[in-house]
Every structure is written in C-alpha cells, then in structure tokens.
Chains A and B, each alone.
Chain A
Amino acid sequence: DAGITQSPRHKVTETGTPVTLRCHQTENHRYMYWYRQDPGHGLRLIHYSYGVKDTDKGEVSDGYSVSRSKTEDFLLTLESATSSQTSVYFCAISSGRGNEKLFFGSGTQLSVL
C-alpha cells in the first residue's frame, strides 16, 4: 500500500471554527490532491498541488485553502467551517507522469454542526 496518512480520521466541529486536515505521504510523489466525497456527487476535486508551494484550484475550491511547504505534507484548511462542508475528505497522490494512477488515503470524516 502507498504510504499515505490522513489526520484526523474523524472530526466534529462547530460552524465558524477553523479546521485543518493533514495529508502525509512517504512516496515522494510530486502531485497531491484533496477531494471531497458526497452522496450523489461522487468525488470532487477541491485543490491540488504539483510541487512544493505550487497549488491550484479544483472544481469546488470556495471556502478552502491549501498549503504545501514540504513534499510530504499537504494541508487543507477550512477558514470558517460551514455545515455544507460536512463531508468525507480524501487525499490522493500520484507521480504526475501521464495517466499514472492515484493512490488514496483512508479519508477524514468531517462533521460541521
């Protein structure tokens, strides 16, 4: 299994509070991604990174920010959590060479009350 660790695995927070989710990889892969999974929507890309300090928006980036200060870590921050951000968040990595598969973490279940 690819070395991807997401933390925390579960979190309950209140509306308006900041939340940071962490993704850590040991594969030295260039690309890292944050997806959210919601019923009826499948997986939707929030942000992705193609190198240290190089990030770009996905299709549902509003309300989220990311940072990548080291190859192995990719942080997703909800500056002020809302109930619509209740979801399961998945981190994924890839080498970035064309058509290489993504390796996924086990997910973080976030509930915003």
Chain B
Amino acid sequence: GDSVTQMEGPVTLSEEAFLTINCTYTATGYPSLFWYVQYPGEGLQLLLKATKADDKGSNKGFEATYRKETTSFHLEKGSVQVSDSAVYFCASSNAAGNKLTFGGGTRVLVKP
C-alpha cells in the first residue's frame, strides 16, 4: 500500500537557521503531495502542495519540489522563526485524490 516516510524529530534550530525536513513516498501512479503543519493545540492545516512531477509548492517561505525520480518531497525554509515551531506532516494522495496517507510527523522547535 501507499506509505510516507519522513525524518523523525525533534529538530531543534536557532532562529534564522535553514530548515530541511526529508520526505519520501511509495505509491502507485502519480500521487499529489502535501505538507501539513500542526501548531500546538490545533488541528492540521495545509502548508503547501504539488500535483505533478517537478512542481514546486510554496507558502510562507516554505518550499518543496515534487521529485519523481527520487520519490521525494523535501520541505525547506531558508530562515526559520520562532513562530515556525510546530509539527510538520508530509502526505500523499490516492489515485482518486480523496484520501491522504500521512507520514509520522516531524516536530520542529525554533529557539530565539
């Protein structure tokens, strides 16, 4: 079945540091890929997505590129802020696009 693997956390960074969270997937066909973010005490919310190979999703300074050849969708941000402290989830969709498979989540803590 489909699966998503992302690096385990926690990832602890200083403010203005560069952030990378690795994500790889296995799926039949060509799924859409997503990054969701969960702030403390809240539900998940969509951060960015990409629907086909070589697409780059971006939002709030975060970027991720859909790499079919490496089945990856790594999340990056060039300069993190304390407010970026959260749990980040990578996800892939099924062929119909109506179900998501999530990775285990990566907790990120940004210190001032």
Interface size class, chain B: 20 to 34
Q: Say yes or no for B70: interface residue by CB 8 A criterion.
A: no
Query: Are B43 and A99 in touch, CB under 8 angstroms?
Result: no
Q: A101 CA to B100 CA in the complex, in Å?
A: 9
Would you call B105 and A42 a contact (CB within 8 A)? Answer: yes
Q: For the side of the interface on A, what is the size category?
A: 20 to 34
Complex interface: stretch among B13-21, B75-83, B91-99? B91-99
A38 to chain B, nearest CB (A): 9
Query: A42, B99: Cβ atoms under 8 Å?
Result: no
Alpha-carbon distance between A97 and B2 when the two chains are bound, in angstroms:
20
Give a binary string over B36-76; 1 marks a CB under 8 Å from any A CB, 0 the rest: 10000111111001010000000000000000000000000
Residue from B4, B41, B97, B104 within 8 A of A97 (CB atoms): B97
Q: B102 near A98 (CB under 8 angstroms)?
A: no
B1 proximity list for chain A (CB < 8 A): 59
Most central of A48, A50, A104 by chain B CB within 10 Å? A104
Cβ of A34 within 8 Å of any chain B Cβ, yes or no, is no
In angstroms, how far is the closest chain B Cβ from the Cβ of A9? 10
Assembled-state Cα–Cα distance A94/B6 (Å): 24
In the complex, what's the smallest C-beta–C-beta distance from B99 to chain A, in angstroms?
7
Which residues of B are found within 8 Å of A106, using beta-carbon distances? 41-43
- When the two chains form their complex, are residues A94 and B104 in contact, meaning their CB atoms are under 8 A apart? no
With contact pairs A90-B43, A90-B44 given, residues A42 and B103 touching in the complex (Cβ less than 8 Å): yes
**Shortest 4 CB-CB distances between A and B: which pairs?**
A98-B97, A104-B43, A42-B104, A43-B102
- Spell out B's residues near A (CB within 8 Å): 1, 4, 32, 34, 36, 41-46, 49, 51, 89, 93, 96-105
